[in-house]
Structure 1
Amino acid sequence: MYTKLKLPSIRIESVSDFIKYIVELRKDGSKPTAFRGQRYYGWPMQPKLFREDEGIFNSEDLAVRDIISIHPQEFEFDKSMFDKLVRMQHFGLPTRLVDVTTNPLVALWFATEPSPESENQHGGLQSLFIPRDRQRYYDSDRVSCMANLANLKVTQKNELFKAVALTKTIEEFNEQQAVKLLAFYVGFEKPNFLNIIKASDLVLPVYVKPKMSNKRIIAQSGAFMLFGSRGRLGKGREPNVKSERVWIHEDDKAEIRDHLQLLGIHESALFPEIDKTAKFISIRYGNERRDRNVDSLI
């Protein structure tokens, strides 16, 4: 399915532990740019679209057209493919985006999601140090090029990334039919686009600062990592994204979430839709909360 990561060396046992850790965290003198929390520390940071068990990558272009075709009113005011991918991501469609947040307490909440009853999936949280060269805003040309890869058929993407690996000049790369088609899609949202695409711009993932245009992004202090290819393909020489990882034992998750709730970090706040609020209230007053055995070990 995918390679599981090793258990990080630092364990977070409480909210106060985590705040102390984050306040002091630096790498090469810089503070983290963004954070990502996951129920299980062993999952790599990878878009759902790229996961073999999802099985949707070869039909990405059909999936994005289907959801817009069936619910066109939901995408009526989205001006770019990136905006559409953000909305699809929040509806649950696997995309080439990975959610991150600029609020470390929000990431901690996601890292303390309870595991299924049959598993002990200790949580994990990454602090990301993203170089300026790998950061973009929602209206960047590079973001448009990467997002519009979603419109290409899998054979066209394969042709394009083969050209990424083999072509030696920007002119040669832009003569490829798949690259011309990608430029055509970008031109739909950017009529003044110069139809010149750099091969290296499609390889390494970039951190994208989105428009704060929906309640969930605002509530979660949301941002995204946008992925182009599944590998480096010999191109993309920009600085690497560095990270620091910590883990949260399954038995500590419930208490950490209780304390986060006191700080205003809970499901109803992070997912402001009414169905999520109803679920939060039901759990608060019902019997659904499940405490794990403190003696359970990895």
Structure 2
Amino acid sequence: MYGLMLGNLNNQDFEDNRITSLACYVKKVEELYSILENENRENKENMDNDGNDSEKIHLENDGKRELYFRGQDSIDYRNTCPSLFRNEKYYANESNMINDFIAKYPDLFKDCQNNVDRLALMQHHQLPTRLLDLTTNALIALYFAVEKDNCKDGVVYVFNNFCNEKFVDKALKKSFSFELDKSLVIPHSNSKVLRIKSSKRDSFSDQVEIETSLARMKQTDSDDFITEVLRFYKELSECDKEIWGKAYLSYLKALSTGIDYSSLSFNTGKLLHKYDNFNNAIPTIRLYHAIERDSGNFDHIINPVEMYLPKIVTPRIIDQRIKNQQGLFMLVPFIFDNKGVGTESLLTKTQRLINTLLYTRRDVHTGKDKAIAFRISCCKKKKLRKELSNIGISKSFIYPDATSYAQDIANSYSKN
């Protein structure tokens, strides 16, 4: 995107995608999906060809790449952070806001089955949370980009379900004074061959339950747990990287089937002893108690290496708005950073993690990866709203309540 250099997006380069009409937008999105189809086909062929290579440590993505869209009515926001991270007082009182809201309106949450359901409802009622609204429908995202006549250009950002390894490297170098290899924190599948795993989770995922339960804990307890995770990361950074790549497969298997040190190599056993120390720490046990209060029985298995990066979460369809908007969320992680508070703003640290899921493609001229975004001039917003309305995407569809329908009806009679 020409001229769009957003500071809190780490000055990431964007393609020059300027939108002048609905037809223009649809064409560019179709081009994206055509490229995506080719990527997925090539990835499947690579997996089929290399699937029997038991010594291979890194392969292509383990699954299909998907696209998600986020529309914002102004590029001047200069970030894509959830509201919780835009105010440090909100962030410092996250658990208080969550628990106060539940205490005030307990009946509102009677049908919720887990913390993701609760956070989704709070997001619906505009409480600041660590959920970032996304959609699988590019047209819905476009509506949000053109929704307001605020004399600002709108923008649609494109995300996907696989971490960009270069962006993960960049985040790690900025986060830690010690060297932590990206293979430690990028999710991998538990298979014979180590493959990058999709960041997409459903609302009943154990990993999602762990992180949303942490959000409800007292600030002092969550801070203590973060300290334990950082200690675990520091110990992993001291492992031999060649040993780590092979040991990680055994590590994943041990977490899912139970730890039997007698069957593991010496180096893998050492790694799992580090995990034992983390798992038996008092802050970790407190988190287990918090999870069990919400979900009942829960195996005492937390994989701390998966907590560094964001997740794409598919919610239950708990209301018509989520259904119509084809909505899903990015669960933005806690900040694991040992370089000290104040070295960078909370917003910058958070955005760097969000960036790891930006969808990029290689610029054939420069050879650089460029993120995908679509910029809509403020003077085109009204036209695009009308074109979207003509195909049924209006305010009453996006916000299906009586007030929105009344406004749509009134607007239809006010037109010349």
Match for 2:398 among 270, 273, 280? 270
* CA distance 1:231–1:125, shift in 2 (3 Å): farther
Residue 117 (structure 2) pairs with residue 83 (structure 1): yes
- The alpha-carbon deviation at position 33 of structure 1 amounts to 2.2
Query: In 2, distance between residues paired with 1:255 and 1:176?
Result: 58
TM-score if structure 2 supplies the norm length? 0.62
- The alpha-carbon deviation at position 45 of structure 1 amounts to 2.1
Query: In 2, distance between residues paired with 1:136 and 1:103?
Result: 18
2:147 alignment partner, SS class: coil
- The alpha-carbon deviation at position 125 of structure 1 amounts to 0.6
- The alpha-carbon deviation at position 75 of structure 1 amounts to 0.5
Match of 2:26 in 1: 19
1:213 alignment partner, SS class: coil
Match of 1:294 in 2: none
Query: In 2, distance between residues paired with 1:45 and 1:182?
Result: 29
Larger Rg: 2
Query: In 2, distance between residues paired with 1:106 and 1:184?
Result: 39
Query: In 2, distance between residues paired with 1:115 and 1:150?
Result: 35
Match of 2:259 in 1: none
Residue 343 (structure 2) pairs with residue 227 (structure 1): no
Q: Which moved more, 1:193-202 or 1:67-76?
A: 193-202
In structure 1, list runs of 5 or more residues that go unmatched: 288-298
Residue 29 (structure 2) pairs with residue 29 (structure 1): no
Match of 2:225 in 1: 160
Match of 1:254 in 2: 382
* CA distance 1:99–1:174, shift in 2 (3 Å): same
* CA distance 1:189–1:269, shift in 2 (3 Å): same
Match of 2:305 in 1: 200
- The alpha-carbon deviation at position 97 of structure 1 amounts to 0.3
1:105 alignment partner, SS class: helix
CA RMSD of aligned residues (A): 2.6
Match for 2:284 among 179, 183, 203? 179
In structure 2, list runs of 5 or more residues that go unmatched: 1-5, 41-64, 163-196, 236-273, 340-352, 360-371
Residue 175 (structure 2) pairs with residue 144 (structure 1): no
Asked if the contact 1:164–1:233 (Cα under 8 Å) also holds between the matched residues in 2, the reply is no
Query: In 2, distance between residues paired with 1:232 and 1:20?
Result: 41
Superimposed CA distance per residue, residues 27-66 of structure 1 (whole angstroms, 9 cap, x where no aligned partner): 572564211111122432212111126x311111111111
Match for 2:79 among 21, 26, 44? 44
Structure 2 counterparts to residues 208-219 of structure 1, below 5 A: 208-219=313-324
> What is the aligned length?
280
Match of 1:292 in 2: none
Query: In 2, distance between residues paired with 1:142 and 1:115?
Result: 40
Residue 409 (structure 2) pairs with residue 281 (structure 1): yes
After the TM superposition, which segments of 4 or more aligned residues of structure 1 sit over 6 Å from their partners? none
Residue 153 (structure 2) pairs with residue 122 (structure 1): yes
Superimposed CA distance per residue, residues 60-94 of structure 1 (whole angstroms, 9 cap, x where no aligned partner): 11111111111111101101011100000000000
- The alpha-carbon deviation at position 181 of structure 1 amounts to 1.8
Asked if the contact 1:203–1:233 (Cα under 8 Å) also holds between the matched residues in 2, the reply is no
Asked if the contact 2:71–2:155 (Cα under 8 Å) also holds between the matched residues in 1, the reply is yes
Q: Which is helix-richer, 1 or 2?
A: 2
Query: In 1, distance between residues paired with 2:156 and 2:379?
Result: 16
Percent identical residues: 28
Query: In 1, distance between residues paired with 2:318 and 2:310?
Result: 22
Asked if the contact 1:50–1:57 (Cα under 8 Å) also holds between the matched residues in 2, the reply is yes
Asked if the contact 1:145–1:202 (Cα under 8 Å) also holds between the matched residues in 2, the reply is no
Asked if the contact 1:215–1:272 (Cα under 8 Å) also holds between the matched residues in 2, the reply is yes
Match for 1:102 among 136, 155, 164? 136
What is the letter of the counterpart of residue 405 of structure 2? T
Superimposed CA distance per residue, residues 87-108 of structure 1 (whole angstroms, 9 cap, x where no aligned partner): 0000000001001001110000
Query: In 1, distance between residues paired with 2:201 and 2:381?
Result: 34
Asked if the contact 2:230–2:336 (Cα under 8 Å) also holds between the matched residues in 1, the reply is no
